Amino acid sequence: MKLLEASGIAHHFDYPLFSGVDLSIDSHESVAIIGVSGSGKSTLLHILSTLLTPDSGEVTLMGESMEGLSNRGLVELRRKQLGIIFQSHYLFKGFTGAENLEVASILSNEPVEPELLRALKIEHVVNQKVTELSGGQQQRLSVARVLTKKPRLIYADEPTGNLDLETACEVMDLFDSYIAKHDAGLLLVTHELQLADRCQRVYKLEEHQLVRVK
Ligand SMILES: Nc1ncnc2c1ncn2[C@@H]1O[C@H](COP(=O)(O)OP(=O)(O)OP(=O)(O)O)[C@@H](O)[C@H]1O
């Protein structure tokens, strides 16, 4: 099934970021976007995940065009189908890891899976407050929180920036098995070429275009 289809996407802020961007993601597919800092990777991810309306172009998610969707429809779609892992993970800082997971669990009516916490090696720290966790543990907690919702499409913006390569690869393993098991897809934004290469397709934002490099 086609999870994401984007065509002719263009956007600018103080300067033109990109134009003519076409991209599609099917279920069971992982796609990476690389590019130098400031090239617009996060902005593109925000557009493809409905958080930002592009200057022009069309985004279709699960067969539904974003143009015709009401605000309420957009919120529903985001809550039920999309899982967005942000660079600054927006965990509820005054709460424990377990409480953060519980929020995702209640909103989605899905259980918190102990094997997910084991795979991410955070099962022994989930009862600590977020502020007591290391940067890498917070990052893995935010991955767990998003996967707990059981999204069809995972958007991950540098989800392993605070992790050593071995742990980062374990997180990629987890994404791989998740998308296989749940007919899902992954869109990864990263600086790490080694991680990008773990995806089936790799694109580079360069000279205002999205160019396929693998
Ligand atoms: N909301 C905004 N308002 C104005 N300018 C913005 C906004 N968001 C991003 N920009 C600008 O757009 C450009 C691209 O930013 P973006 O975060 O998309 O790049 P990036 O490739 O993800 O960078 P990095 O790899 O450093 O995270 C930057 O110059 C940034 O300042």
Q: pLDDT tens digits for 12-32?
A: 999 999 999 999 999 999 999
Q: Does the CB atom of residue 11 touch ligand 1 within 6 A?
A: no
Alpha-carbon distance 207 to 19, whole Å?
Answer: 10
Q: Does the CB atom of residue 88 touch ligand 1 within 6 A?
A: no
CA of 51 to the centre of ligand 1 (A): 14
Is the CB of residue 10 less than 8 Å from the CB of residue 19? Answer: yes
- Quickly list DSSP for 148-164: HT--SEEEEESTTTTS-
Residue located nearest, by CA, to atom 11 of ligand 1 = 13
| Residue 155 banded pLDDT, cuts 50, 70, 90 | very high
Average model confidence (pLDDT) across the chain? 95
> Would you say residue 198 has pLDDT above 90?
yes
Q: Which residue is associated with the tokens 């540098």? A: 158
Q: Does the CB atom of residue 39 touch ligand 1 within 6 A?
A: yes
Residue 161 pLDDT? 85
Q: Does the CB atom of residue 13 touch ligand 1 within 6 A?
A: yes
> Would you say residue 162 has pLDDT above 90?
no
Q: What type of residue sits at position 185?
A: G
Residue 149 pLDDT? 96
CA of 206 to the centre of ligand 1 (A): 14
Dihedral sign computed on CA atoms, order 59, 62, 65, 66: negative
| Residue 87 banded pLDDT, cuts 50, 70, 90 | confident
Q: pLDDT tens digits for 90-109?
A: 899 999 999 999 999 999 99
Residue located nearest, by CA, to atom 1 of ligand 1 = 13
Q: Does the CB atom of residue 190 touch ligand 1 within 6 A?
A: no
Residue 107 pLDDT? 92
> Would you say residue 180 has pLDDT above 90?
yes
Q: Does the CB atom of residue 185 touch ligand 1 within 6 A?
A: no
Backbone angles phi, psi at 2, to 5 degrees: -80, 120
Kindly provide the ipTM of the predicted complex, given to two decimals.
0.97
Q: What is the mean pLDDT of residues 114-131?
A: 97
The reported pTM is: 0.95
Residue 104 pLDDT? 95
Both tokens of 34, joined, read: 């690389």
Is the CB of residue 180 less than 8 Å from the CB of residue 169? Answer: no
**Domain 2-212 annotated CATH 3.30.470.10:** no
Residue located nearest, by CA, to atom 3 of ligand 1 = 13
Show me where the domains of the chain are located.
Answer: 2-212
Alpha-carbon distance 153 to 61, whole Å?
Answer: 9
The closest-lying atom of ligand 1 relative to the alpha carbon of residue 44 is: 18
| Residue 120 banded pLDDT, cuts 50, 70, 90 | very high
Residue 85 pLDDT? 95
Q: Does the CB atom of residue 34 touch ligand 1 within 6 A?
A: no
